[in-house]
Amino acid sequence: MEASALSRIGLAGLAVMGQNLALNVAEKGFPISVYNRTTSKVDETLDRAHREGELPLTGHYTPRDFVLSIQPPRSIIILVKAGSPVDQTIAALSEHMSPGDCIIDGGNEWYQNTERRIEEVSHKGLLYLGMGVSGGEEGARHGPSLMPGGSYEAYNNIKDILQKVAAQVEDGPCVTYIGEGGSGNFVKMVHNGIEYGDMQLISEAYDVLKHVGGLTNAELAEIFDEWNRGELESFLIEITADIFKVKDEHGDGELVDKILDKTGMKGTGKWTVQQAAELSVAAPTIAASLDCRYLSGLKEEREKASQVLKEAGLQDEIQNAGVLVDKKRLIDDVRQALYASKICSYAQGMNLLRSKSNEKGWNLNFGELARIWKGGCIIRAVFLDRIKKAYQRNPNLASLVVDSEFAREMVQRQAAWRRVVGLAISAGISTPGMCASLSYFDTYRRARLPANLVQAQRDLFGAHTYERIDRPGSYHTEWTKLGRKNSAGVDAE
């Protein structure tokens, strides 16, 4: 093909995300080639490109034709299911690629798989990027948040495309070069873990307002709309308000009340919690949100437990929870509790990123990460601008909890936060996310914890030794022997 007829970039994998991202690239004026093993998907994408504005998109039906239709050095985005399908796609395409060409994996991939592939394709002279893409179908089509990590040269080859395709906010496009290796995938994974926490906290706010406050779906929609005009303004608060407004087309009332209470998941939340454990980083809010998804899956067990405990005499406190509640105050308290809980959840996610960055030498820019999450992605929120500024004030910030502005806000909100958690516990409503955030705050802020007793126990049964607060060195004590000796001495007196 003549150079003038070649596409600027290619995309393989035309499920909805792939189609939408390809159309986004084409709409921004970059000619793009597309390919899919199932040829009907290629035809479907071509038809959409025609209907959505005669966009500069060409379809190809074999890996060879697809690769050769792209201008060298070639950049090819693949959007297929994580794991072996990615390896199979790389094998099929790389056969026809040349040294200096680049593969960009846009899926939710485990970061170590990306690091393995970087090494494998380098033997063929190929470059590689693992690029987190957040924003769902809508984001992919109109502007996602993009998190590319791996080859800096590969990033520079398509930087102009990514900057146009990404969501746009007042301080720039929602894309930045994340760092080396699998850093882009790791950052996207932690983003998803924070997303788990956010969704859990919002669901708890809903549960308390509905069952303690006795609010209707119409009232909830109004409250979330109002919250979305203040400090909680975010994509998740906005869509939650919309959810409460949707009527059930198959019966009376709103659709949200007819949805089975079992939450699905795809694995990134679990990976986040596993990494936190491996790196010894506390992430209790994110872990609580994952536990809740597991418990939600036990629908039949929960129904049986409800019946068994009722028969055993457990009173349903929820029924009478809202009798003496000041609704206006409860709504404001829940708003404050949600905001304070979110600070702790984001602090946990950022601390996990910092720990991994230190381990791998990625040199992550946390203020920049907060900036690129301000648009396009699922956790996009006004709140992220505050996080960006916190890290600009102090790039080595130990935790968001101790940033001067966030610290002041948490202190101002802690009374409301404690009232909400206490009220929920009294009413028998589980708020594991809010409780985890509050416990994290209360543990982190204490200069001295009861860990001294735990260390004493460990030393007693396992001779693990302990340190003292008043002198250096490690110590071991014969606790049982001395304890009983001292006890005998007291008895003798």
Task: Please give the positions annotated as active site.
Answer: 188, 195
Closest CA to 286 of 277, 273, 275, 271: 273
Q: Which residues pair with 7 in a beta bridge?
A: 70
Q: Which residues pair with 220 in a beta bridge?
A: none
Residue 286 to residue 234: CA distance in whole angstroms: 19
Hunting for tokens 């956790």 — which residue is that? 379
10 Å Cβ neighbour count for 7?
24
Q: Is the peptide bond before 73 cis (omega within 30 degrees of 0)?
A: yes
Structure tokens at 36: 């899919």
Residue 186 to residue 149: CA distance in whole angstroms: 9
Q: Which residues pair with 76 in a beta bridge?
A: 10, 103
Hunting for tokens 């924070």 — which residue is that? 194
111 in Cβ contact with 353 (< 8 Å): no
β-strand 172-173 against 168-169: which pairing, if any? antiparallel
Q: Is the dihedral of CA 268, 270, 276, 277 positive or negative?
A: negative
Residue 74 to residue 107: CA distance in whole angstroms: 19
